[in-house]
Amino acid sequence: MPEYPDITVYIEAIERHALGHILTGMKVKTPFLVRTYQPPIQDLERQTLTGVRRVGKKIAFGFSNGHWMVLHLMIAGRLHWNSTRQALATFAFDNGNLSLTEAGSRRQASIHVYAGSSAIPSAGLEVMTCSFEAFAARFTAENHTLKRALTDPHILSGIGNAYSDEILHHARLSPVTLSQKLTPENLAKLLDAIRDRLNFFTEVLRKQTGAGFLEKVTAFRPEMAAHGKFNQPCPRCATPIQRIVHGAHETNYCPECQTGGKLLADRALSRLLGKDWPKTLEEMEERKRG
């Protein structure tokens, strides 16, 4: 799913290409894409795009009649400019076409239209601009694992599965530590890591995109230290990166840097192995040799 860096660079590209231009028409291939009916999406036609902003992991388009269109790309939704790809929706501006595609057979992307910005549902805390006090209060209001708290859109805005791994690796914090167990020093370290990693990957994407339009949106990037790097050496200590698999997602971490050398129990494997589940990398290697 596109997260803060991807959405930010998408918005910058949309601003370069379409801001100040008139939406002359649109084609929506499936009616299930549009989840609201009042005001109708057709009210956006012949209106000028006056603003684009991020709402969590969503993109909000503001128009000259005061209406806003909020687009949630979900996991496989992607945006393109003047593309020939088959699209779920195409928005024709007076200078080019913005199109929405979605890979796979599942249709999860959505569009909501609101009569004014105040009607747009709020997202989680904006970690790039909030104070430390606001971050600490919001992050510790409930007691969740750090991985869960980072990726909960009602707690923090714009962070998902991929970049949460990078943030926790950078902060040297375990993904299963409980949020209310963090000291003020660790909370400060976590907030610094959030801003550092989100800014870093935003710059990576900006350089790749240049003056064009962001095309390669992926959860796996060569610059990543932990996410998608299972069994590859940690760039900091060379320990093999480990993972916990839960459903369609996985958590990647370095045992040496983040968990004091301990292996975190993978739900499926630990349930299968029970007491035989190795507690350290050394135990795991011994099992493999055996």
pLDDT of residue 281: 61
* Tally of domains within the chain: 2
Note whether residue 231 is domain-resident: yes
Statement to judge: residues 259 and 179 lie in one domain = yes
pLDDT of residue 274: 47
pLDDT of residue 278: 58
Statement to judge: residues 186 and 108 lie in one domain = no
Note whether residue 215 is domain-resident: yes
pLDDT of residue 275: 53
pLDDT of residue 107: 83
Statement to judge: residues 98 and 155 lie in one domain = no
Statement to judge: residues 278 and 164 lie in one domain = yes
Q: What are the pLDDT tens digits along the chain (290 aa)?
A: 899 999 999 999 999 999 999 999 999 998 899 999 999 999 999 999 999 999 999 999 999 999 999 999 999 999 999 999 999 999 999 999 999 999 877 789 999 999 999 999 988 999 999 999 999 999 999 999 999 999 999 999 999 999 999 999 999 999 999 999 999 999 999 999 999 999 999 999 999 999 999 888 888 999 999 999 999 999 999 999 999 987 678 899 999 999 999 999 865 544 434 455 455 666 655 545 54
Domain of 72 in residue numbering reads as 4-119
pLDDT of residue 269: 46
Note whether residue 247 is domain-resident: yes
CATH number at 84 reads 3.20.190.10
pLDDT of residue 81: 97
CATH number at 190 reads 1.10.8.50
HEC secondary structure over the chain: CCCHHHHHHHHHHHHHHHCCCEEEEEEECCHHHECCCCCCHHHHCCEEEEEEEEECCEEEEEECCCCEEEEECCCCEEEEECCCCCCCEEEEECCEEEEEEECCCCCCCEEEEECCHHHCCCCCECCCCCCHHHHHHHHCCCCCEHHHHHHCCCCECCCCHHHHHHHHHHHCCCCCCEHHHCCHHHHHHHHHHHHHHHHHHHHHHHHHHCCCCCCCCCCCCCCCCCCCCCCCECCCCCCECEEEEECCEEEEECHHHHCCCECCCCHHHHHHHHHHCCCEHHHHHHHHHC
Statement to judge: residues 94 and 137 lie in one domain = no
Residue where one domain finishes, among candidates 119, 142, 163: 119
